[in-house]
């Protein structure tokens, strides 16, 4: 799922390409993508895009008459821009919707048969706020606000950082990177951290998200981003199972649960302990290795 750094780059590209431009036609190509009926989606056809913004991981296009078109990319949703006459460059089954402008077309795609990505049209700031899970913006938060959000409930650090009701825009990938950077176990409980550890986690969060936002901006180089992914060359642990930790050389470990995974370095983060994978540890039972040396 695109997280805060990637969504920021999308917003910058959308601002350059479609803000101030008239949406000539909106085509819904999937019967599952539209999740609202009032106002009717046809209301935005012929209107000018007045602005774009982010609500958590959602991308919002603002129109006149207090209308907001909200796109949730979920795990496999992506946005692609094509100039007039250019082919989409993807199979037709991947295209959920297309936004036609005089100078090009914005395609909303999803590389999954589960069709989780969505579009909603709402009217008014109140209706838009109702879609916001309420998490604080990690790059704008003070250390005190970060502490309050983190310790509001006693979650594991992995769950706490990725809870959209606590923090806006942090998902699977960057939570792994943040926790590796600060050398904390993803299974430590939020209320068990010392004040120094919370401050270190705050600094690691701001630094990680800020650095990756800058990096993705530089990679896009003013163009519409084409390769938006959760896996990037240069990440320390996310998507690097079995590869050496860049800090200590220990093979990166992971826990997979459904479509989510936790990637970590046992030497840097868990004092050499291997965290139990639900499926494998149940299968192996007493043979499940408890420590890296095993």
Fold (topology level) of 4-129: N-terminal domain of MutM-like DNA repair proteins (3.20.190)
List the domain boundaries for the chain: 4-129, 143-287
Q: Which CATH number fits domain 143-287: 3.40.50.300, 1.10.8.50, 3.40.630.30, 2.60.40.420?
A: 1.10.8.50
Task: Express each pLDDT in 167-214 by its tens digit.
Answer: 999 999 999 999 999 999 999 999 999 999 999 999 999 999 999 999
Least confident of 39-53, 171-185, 248-262: 248-262
If you average pLDDT over residues 34-38, what whole number do you get? 95
pLDDT score at 281: 43
- CA pair distance 270, 261, nearest whole angstrom: 16
Whether the predicted pLDDT of 35 surpasses 90 = yes
Task: Determine contact, residues 209/139, Cβ cutoff 8 Å.
Answer: yes
* Higher pLDDT, residue 286 or 58: 58
pLDDT tier at 289, thresholds 50, 70, 90: very low
Q: Would you say residue 291 has pLDDT above 60? A: no
| Residues 6+ positions from 37 with CB-CB distance below 8 Å | none
64-97 pLDDT, tens digit each: 999 999 999 999 999 999 999 898 888 888 999 9
pTM assigned to the model: 0.91
Q: Which residue from 94, 63, 68, 66 is spatially nearest to 80, judged by alpha carbons? A: 94
């Amino acid at each position: 799922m695109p997280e805060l750094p990637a969504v920021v780059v999308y917003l910058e590209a959308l601002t350059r390409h479609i803000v101030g431009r008239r949406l000539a036609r909106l085509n819904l190509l999937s019967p599952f993508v539209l999740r609202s009926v009032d106002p009717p989606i046809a209301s935005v056809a012929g209107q000018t895009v007045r602005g774009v913004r982010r609500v958590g991981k959602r991308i919002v296009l603002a129109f006149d008459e207090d209308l907001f078109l909200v796109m949730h990319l979920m795990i496999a949703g992506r946005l692609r821009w094509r100039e007039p006459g250019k082919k989409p460059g993807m199979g037709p089954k991947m295209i959920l919707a297309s936004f036609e402008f005089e100078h090009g077309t914005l395609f909303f795609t999803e590389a999954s048969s589960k069709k989780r990505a969505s579009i909603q049209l709402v009217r008014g700031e109140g209706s838009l706020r109702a879609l916001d899970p309420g998490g604080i913006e990690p790059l704008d938060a003070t250390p005190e606000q970060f502490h309050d959000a983190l310790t509001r409930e006693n979650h594991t650090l992995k769950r706490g950082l990725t809870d959209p009701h606590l923090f806006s825009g942090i998902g699977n990938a960057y939570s792994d990177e943040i926790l590796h950077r600060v050398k904390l176990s993803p299974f430590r409980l939020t209320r068990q951290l010392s004040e120094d550890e919370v401050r270190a986690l705050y600094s690691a969060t701001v630094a990680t998200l800020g650095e990756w936002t800058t990096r993705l901006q530089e990679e896009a180089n003013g163009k519409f981003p084409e390769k938006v992914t959760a896996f990037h060359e240069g990440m320390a642990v996310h998507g690097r199972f079995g590869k050496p930790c860049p800090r200590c050389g220990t093979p990166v470990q992971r826990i997979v649960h459904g479509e989510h995974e936790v990637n970590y370095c046992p030497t840097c983060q868990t004092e050499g302990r291997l965290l139990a994978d639900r499926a494998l540890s149940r299968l192996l039972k007493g043979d499940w290795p408890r420590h890296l040396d095993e």
